Structure 1
Amino acid sequence: MFADDKSGAFDAGVVTINSIDNVAAGALSGKLSEDGKTLTVTTASAVSKRYNVVIDGIKAKDGSAFAKYDEVVTFAADTTAPAIVSTVKDSASTFTVTFSEPIKQIGTVTYKYADGTPVADGHVTHNFTTTTDKVTFTLTSNIASGKTVIATVIGAQDTASNLLSPNPATVTMVKGALDGVAPTVSAITQTGATTFTVKFSEQLAANPTISIDGTDVATASVVKDATDATLYTVTAPAVLDGAKTIAVKGFNDLSGEVGADTSKVVVFTKDAAAPKVASSNVVVDATDSKQYLELTFDKDVKVDTGKVTVTGTFVKDHITNTITVADTEVKPDATNKKVVRVNLDTLLGDTTTDVEGATYNLDLKFTGVTSAAGVVVEDAKATFTRGKDGVPASGAVAKVKTVIQDATNNNKVNVTFDQAVDGASATNAANYKIDGAVVESVTLLPAVTAAGATTQVAVLNLKAGSNEFTGTRNINISDVKALGSTKVMEPFHTNTEVLKENVAPVVVSAKLTGTTEITLTFSEAVLDDTAEDFEVLIEGKSQGTAEKVTTGIGSTAVTTVKVAIAAVDADKIAKGISLKALDTIDVKDAAGNALSVPANIVVTQ
């Protein structure tokens, strides 16, 4: 629904408000209530008269779509003037003024003392932000306690351009007394290659001045924390390494108590660890509708003429091909310092190696991409399915049609999706959970279209021997995307599928119990057909005429069986007798697991 999946600008076509009477609503933004039931839409311009309101593409949490809303709505013009409804003293020197509605501009604000003399410029500040209903005023330490300051607001307007009433309006503020306790610096802590925090004993009236080795840090580089009003993050102009003198000065608390200038030697450690790629994803750019490989690192990175060279393979129609492309441009993300992007059209080369629908497995080697401390990022790997450029991001959501264990191989479980799926997410083993079994890897089969419907199967490869019992299982599947979509699937759960155990039987012992007989003991009851199972070896070698035998177990499961062999003499016994499994061996347990014979079986006496 939202461009950033949270709030603000909408995805294209979700909400449109078109004026019928030529009173444009302007850009739209929105916010969803905490319970997810109320969507508040904000228009950039004041609305009045008739509008065609269209709401489409909104879905419930369960993935079901709401019916499209397409109606003509009449909005009454806002003619009510805003007013000041309250003034609250937050501390000795800060006051919050609340208006009856959000205002788009505060107009002109002047300050005078109670005796009518003007307050010097900068001795009172306010933090007005457009389209808010609250403004905080701060009486700085230049104003003595007990002093009364009268703020006069002229020309404030609401979002419909209605002027404040009365206009002008006044606010009276009385500076509180000093609280008797001066603020102090509690701690200075390194937080990154170029950042550290300064913690104070209490909230300050304004940002402090911070210097590193005698040079003041730029004002914009000292930022108060959004959740802890006593904490400030400082960004140094260069990488922090070794002993530095950190000076903190020019600060006072909300009551006006002035803190003593503080100087401290802090030993910083240069971050020598290389950034690693934490995740990769194919995204469709909202501007050019082209596909990009988006890589997210485990820490902030810098891009200085960044390049990436790829080598690897891609698979299309069961055919594996190789690819090598050097020095493709890497671009930093505009908002997230951990993210970089690479244009797939450039990364994958010409039409012989840039193939729509192919699944790529690439090794990435970077140049010009480093940590904030200048350490070159580590090489990485990426797996994804190539979509088509020029096609806007899809909102399709994949669904699971069936989950069925393979009919002939208990180590495989086939998950059928109702459409083609993204290779990177569909082959991520972490997206599949089967209670009592381990999904070791996932193989994605080609999408198949029949009778106008497309399906695609992901084969879950279970770790051999990890599924120890036959029975129904809890199976959970999540985070798989439809091919070319930006949306992950709704979590899927089933507990109706019966899975057969996949513990392969083995030969526990093989004993020569007669000159023409070997007795085999198995780890569990096994069955057999008529195909030849073993070759009898002497001294580890085939005999002059290869001797091939069958267990002759039949359709009744047994744990021991006597295998008839050609007569052996003392010489053959001395040289050593062993059994080699043949390609035709068909011994299996009741669940269908084939006998495991990792090496030749030594026959003992």
Structure 2
Amino acid sequence: MGTKKSNKLYAAAAALAVTASAVAPGLTADAASKVTVKSITAPKSISHYGGYTFAVKKLSLPKTVKVLLSNKKYENRSVKWGKVSYDKKYIGKYQTISGTVSGTTKKASIKVKLNNYPVDVVEPKLAPVAVGEKLNLPSTIDVKYKDGKVIARSAKSFNLTAEKTDKAGMMKLSYNYMGKNSSIKGSIAYEVKVAEITNVMNEIKDDMLSVSADVKYPAKDAKVEVLVYAFKDMTKEPIKVAAELKDGKLTAKSGELPAGTHAFAVKVGEVVSPAKDFVVEAPMVKEVKAINAKQLQVTFNKAIDKATVVDEDGTLKSGVLTVATVSGESAIINTSSLSSLSEDGKTLTVSTDSGFFGGKYVATLSADAVKTKKGEFVAAYSSSVLSFEDTTAPEVKNVERIDSSKVRVYFSEPLSSQGNWTFKLSNGTTVSVTPDVSNILKGYVDLTIDSSVETGSEITATILGAKDVAGNLINPNPSTVKFTKGAKDGVKPVVSSINALGLNKFEVKFSEEVKNVDVTDFSVNGTALTASTGSVAQDSSDKSKYVVTLNTALVPQANQTSVLANVAIAAGGIVDNTGEEFVAITKVVEFKADTVKPTLVSQEVKKEDGKEYLYLKFSEKVTKAANALDALSTKQVKDFVTTTNTADLDGASDDKLVAVGSEGKEFKVALSDVTFNSAALVQGAEYSVTLTGFSDESTNALEGTVVKFTRGSDSDTAKPEIVTAQEVSNNDTIQIQFDRALDGASAVNKANYSIDGLTIDTVTLLPGNIVELKLVSGTNTLSGYRSLNVSNVKSKDGVTMAPTSKNIDLDENVKPELKSATIISNNQIKVVFSEAVDSSLVSKADLDVFVGSVQEDETDPDFAVAPVGPAGANTEFIITLGDALTATEYAQTITVKVVEDANVNSIITDAEGNKVKVGTVVVSK
């Protein structure tokens, strides 16, 4: 224990140390007072979020630490810490940070844990958006963290500012992403674009302009149309043609336009494409050429009125076309030349009446002779010198099944000779098939398969020696074709597509035409449809397409505009036309609400029963609003004078414009019922009516569409009547005499004629208002009266006859044929016909006997043919050969061939006058 002196000394030293410390801070208290820091209490560890740059509250270490002094007292001393590392290797781990403590050399330490924190927002690249449309934002945005990981975070957590798409340009969305103790601010760029119109294409057909274009970024609810500048006059108000924009494809079709050079531009909202020129040609001949030695083909640029080029009997109209022979073979074209007009009305094919093309020629089309379907004259035309030499061999083009027992073989050109035909099964057996060669100049032969041939049998026809008009033999020679009798085609019908047409309809497209389709074949989401829950209808133009309508529309879920549904079609009932069964199928179909506005597809003035009717056809089923057609804005042009007023297309009672058919897509109105300015339409005046007042089943309204037509005149409304109907010339032919000129198309329509129990093969319109019916040979097995039924035949003015029945006396038309031939001795053959024939007409001129390929000599006085039985009608006859058969001859194939006697009055016939069928029978031994 120290002395008092020592204690005083210590006290003085301590006071000196304090004073020295105040004077000289570098001098430690320990040195002065001998009180030392025994230990440092470590602060609590720290767990920090947010890093440094983006931290809302920065990392803060304690400013002091608690120390234990040597005098056993505690005090807080200031501390200066080392640097915290933000390197990613420390993320999620504790790092120890050292600190320098005031008044001691001892070090303090603290543990700091840096939790993972966001360091960047991966700003998404947004797709451009059209003006007025909603920006397509992602549901999540990627955030990059300190440890290198990228995590998708909900877009809602970014506090995005409101989007703006009301005008075009580069825009930004500001964001502030708030993590735990962190905030990252920035912006996401996006572009609002004006409409882009590319790939503008056009086509002229039937004087109408069709336009298509690709459109990107159309402004919301932008009006789409095509602006047509008549005769390229850009100073005048253009013709505005409503367009349709669907899935980025714009389509539009104008009304008829006059001949000349015009221009058009596509307009989407306020964006207009550069103008493009197009030409509507005046009616003209585009080309004249000989397509083979028999036929000349004239191609027009517009559909031609058939009545101005082809007479009612199928021959060339007088004063239309002449052909002058410059050199070579003489080819005669006249009013007896068979002529036909293609379905599109643009190709006239004319056959020579005599001679054939084999040299040089000049073809001339007369002025003011040929008219288009619109009544415009085709300009006169004279060809350059045409050279033609037919060295091309005819070929079999294709085989078409007419029905289960009849096929038609088409050739590449008309034939002058059908050559020889043989028919065999795959095992080599000869079968009975009858060729009808009456139409070889039309380029086809009909083959009727005998009833004795089994269903499903494949038959090979061999054609030898067939020639065209120039004498070219068929290539290859012989040629073969194969066909099958009444067999299934081996191809099962399948569904090509199922497309929704709104929330209550879907369209089913089959791979081919099918039948037995019923609403109960369909089910939606596992529930089969019934007559009370839906209906099905076949498309009027595409027979392989059906539309199914649900009585109750599907309902989308909240905030949805479409419904996904399972559509199933059952097997069992549906088959194709050959009996192949449909295989069941299920497809997922998206049903969307219909927002597409209906459009006017076509307009046409037709004559029916002598009256002019305006036909309007729409893109889908529409309904007309009450009183909506009473005062349509209309322009009338007559003698170059233009008058603007209103037109009434529906009459005072709103019942004049009526639906055509049951689909609701087409309407018609008699022009005599249409008024302009409350008065009847003026003959010869052109009217342009702005059509409105129609809407589809989803209440989408038709936009104003201009309908243009010219008022002609109504014609005689008297109905054609039958004067006489009788069998003529042979048992296959019936002629019907009418009291007035007929419309050719309806007169030759086979569907307009029927005879109870019989089948009509062909219908031909002859001069003098005579219609000739050809029965299928061999189908009338009984003689007697039959009922001839005629309907829907029209006069040349379009008036339809009243349905009429006439009783006519018809003879049976089954032709006798040689059924068998048998050797009954070494110089005699017995032949048997299918029925009794007139014995007086059967001679050796009708029956040729071949041993192998060598014909027996019929000039031998001993060669004879005699009936078995008394004179008159017989079925059996004996052929006596001039010489007895040798053993070598007997070993060969012996055949009897029935030929048509050169003397028409000596041809073998049955009791009703039916001529024998030519053909060959192998002799049985």
TMscore range, shorter length:
0.3 to 0.5
Q: Kindly name which structure, 1 or 2, has the bigger radius of gyration based on alpha carbons.
A: 2
Q: TM-score of the superposition, structure 2-length normalised?
A: 0.25
Q: TM-score of the superposition, structure 1-length normalised?
A: 0.36
